[in-house]
Amino acid sequence: VQLVESGGGLVQAGGSLRLSCVITGRTFNSFSIGWLRRAPGKEREFVAAVSWISGTTYYADSVRGRFTISRDTDKNTMYLQMNSLKPEDTAVYYCAAPHTGWNYSAVEEWDYWGQGTQVTVSS
């Protein structure tokens, strides 16, 4: 299984970025896939998840209303549209799949990870 992120970069506060994650090697029909991030000096934290089959979405309170997670099952690709970005969104963003537990914030409940893509929001 391989997860490859792209789309990170440098953006001013209030701007937008769209991250992509291409998944190869298997599909995760019965599970959720998602995005987590690690800000400098902080623990990795949950951002958003989406059910591969139903498309039901889940968000951390800190990004709800600003970020939108989606997936394209034909392309085996997941996206994270990030709008109204804030300096505190600066982090390395990781895609992860599948989620196999009960707590999206528990990093040990995500089986596979991408290499991460850097998002930097300037003030």
The model's pLDDT over 25-50, given as tens digits with 9 standing for 90+, comes to 887 777 999 999 999 999 999 999 99
Give per-residue pLDDT as tens, 78-101: 999 999 999 999 999 999 999 888
* Residues 6+ away with beta carbon under 8 Å from 50: 32, 33, 34, 56, 57, 58, 69, 70, 71, 78
- Looking at the chain, the whole-number percentage of residues with pLDDT higher than 90 is 89
